[in-house]
Amino acid sequence: METVETAAAQALFTPEEYLARERKALNKSEYRDGRIYAMPGASRAHNLITVHVTGELYIQLRTRSCEVYPSDMRVKVSAGGLYTYPDVIVVCDEPRFEDGHFDTLLNPTVLIEVLSPSTAAYDRGEKFRRYQYLDSLCEYILISQDRVQVEHYLRQEDGWELTEFRFLSDVFQLVSIRCELSLQAIYAKVNFSER
* Pairing of β 159-165 and β 150-156: antiparallel
Q: Range of 129's domain? A: 4-194
CB 14 within 8 A of CB 34: yes
pLDDT single digits (tens) 51-109: 999 999 999 999 999 999 999 999 999 866 899 999 999 999 899 999 999 999 999 99
Closest CA to 87 of 37, 49, 131, 33: 49
Look at residue 133 and tell me whether its pLDDT is greater than 60: yes
Predicted confidence band of residue 130 (pLDDT cuts 50, 70, 90): very high
* Pairing of β 139-144 and β 110-115: parallel
- pLDDT at position 79 is 66
Residue type, 40: P
CATH number of the domain where residue 146 is located:
3.90.1570.10
Domains in the chain: how many in total? 1
